[in-house]
A = this chain, B = another copy of it.
Amino acid sequence: MPRAGLTPAAVTEEAARLCDEQGFDRLSLAAVAKRFGVAVPSLYKHVGGLEALRREVAMAAAADFAQALGRAAIGRAEADALRAAARAYRDYARAHPGRYAALQQAAPRPGEDDEGAAVFYRSVEVLVPVVRGFGLADEALIDVIRTVRSALHGFVDLELSGGFGLPQGVDASFDVLVEALVRTLRDWPVSAAAQEGADGAHGG
């Protein structure tokens, strides 16, 4: 029997494709092995197991995602940059729902998985210059980025999970949300009551 030519990268890529088609929760070694026409234990020569494969998919997705966002925002500023990033965000999630879902669970549990954490944060840091472009105070940066991420992730997650009911008007709703974000960042209250608890914490 000829070798199947598996590699860690090929296995991860195929797993990611499977996630996009069937959902991240349906990822299984059995399904991946079937796609390659190999026996399940063969995969262990290339990946550490199901959990490891999930992490691999998540890391690859984080890299892809960060790149897509970065490319979208390049050469744009302020509202245009935010609009482009938001569109890229949603487009990525819709084109790669399984990868996007994987990305979420790539969030670092404190104390472990430092390597994954680094990759994950890179996919978040892309938003920093975009938000900075609105000229906000540094103390507000983390809160604002968290707000932007919340809005985008929430919309995309609800959309993907069918939480919006019938899909009619979802594109328009997204435009509305993005424009609301633009106004929010433009009119940010530099020293409003909302800052009372801001302590410039880590993360974001």
Given A110-B162, A154-B157, A184-B180, A169 contacting B142 (CB threshold 8 A): yes
**A173, B146: Cβ atoms under 8 Å?**
yes
B155–A146 touching, CB < 8 Å? yes
Query: Contacts A166-B201, A166-B202, A175-B194; is A154 near B149 (CB within 8 Å)?
Result: yes
What's the tally of chain A residues with a CB closer than 8 Å to chain B? 59
- The yes or no answer to A200 lying at the interface (CB within 8 A) is yes
Known: A151-B147, A161-B107. A169 touches B197 (CB 8 A): yes
Distance between A100 CB and nearest chain B CB, rounded to angstroms: 12
- Measured CB to CB, the closest approach of chain B to A89, in angstroms, equals 11
Chain A interface residues toward B at CB < 8 A: 25, 104-105, 107-110, 117, 121, 140, 142-144, 146-147, 149-155, 157-158, 161-173, 175-177, 179-180, 183-184, 187, 189, 192-204
